[in-house]
Amino acid sequence: MSFLDCSCISHAQVQPMDIEERYEDTSHQFLSFDGSEFTLQGPAGGDDITGLSAEPAHYQLLFELGRGFNNLSQVNMARHIPTGQLVAVKQTNLDECTEEELLQLMNEVLLSRLFRHPNLLTSRLVFSSCCQLWVLTPLMAYGSADTLLRTYFPDGMSESLIAYLLYGVLKALEYLHGWAMFTGG
């Protein structure tokens, strides 16, 4: 059981996360949907997305989760049609990027593919289609920290939960420091 699923660490009662229920909210606009079921863990299994294909036609974009990279990227929840596995797809229109942004994006993608730490979200599959760069990552069922706070902890988190989350952040920073990503100065 995830620490986030334990109700003893919060003032709020936390129910086990069901990805299907979370995204049934009508405020989410599906990009395409054929009515078939989707689950968090498809046959390819959990966070392992290495067996997915680099073919855009193999992905059904469900809805937008957010935007990123100077608002040039759109992050969508998508279903890998052959396996039914849900992933996050970050699409960036390369034609809209400046030369400096392209270099920054290239650096971000290369570094993300190198990292191997449980507290860092890393890309496992990157490909281009026409002028679009596709970066696939495992889908994080609880969403962003902001979504986690707004949805499950509207009255704030307990100190023990904050300590648990910060410990994970610090372990990730320690890992990045080992890569000399951050230096004192």
- On whether both 130 and 161 belong to a single domain, the answer is no
Query: What's 111's domain CATH number?
Result: 3.30.200.20
- On whether both 43 and 77 belong to a single domain, the answer is yes
Q: Is the pLDDT confidence value at 24 over 50?
A: no
* C-alpha span between 69 and 78 (Å, rounded): 19
- On whether both 111 and 34 belong to a single domain, the answer is yes
- On whether both 28 and 90 belong to a single domain, the answer is yes
- On whether both 62 and 132 belong to a single domain, the answer is yes
- On whether both 37 and 59 belong to a single domain, the answer is yes
Domain extent, residue 96, equals 18-141
Domain count, the chain: 2
Calculate the alpha carbon distances from 10 to 6, 15, 55, 128, 154 in Å.
8, 12, 42, 43, 11
- On whether both 106 and 129 belong to a single domain, the answer is yes
pTM: 0.69
Please identify, among 125, 141, 157, the residue that sits at the C-terminal boundary of a domain: 141
Residue-wise pLDDT tens digits, 101-136? 999 999 999 888 888 899 998 888 999 999 999 999
Which run of H or of E encompasses 172?
helix 159-178
Residue-wise pLDDT tens digits, 156-169? 999 999 999 899 99
- On whether both 105 and 150 belong to a single domain, the answer is no
* C-alpha span between 156 and 43 (Å, rounded): 36
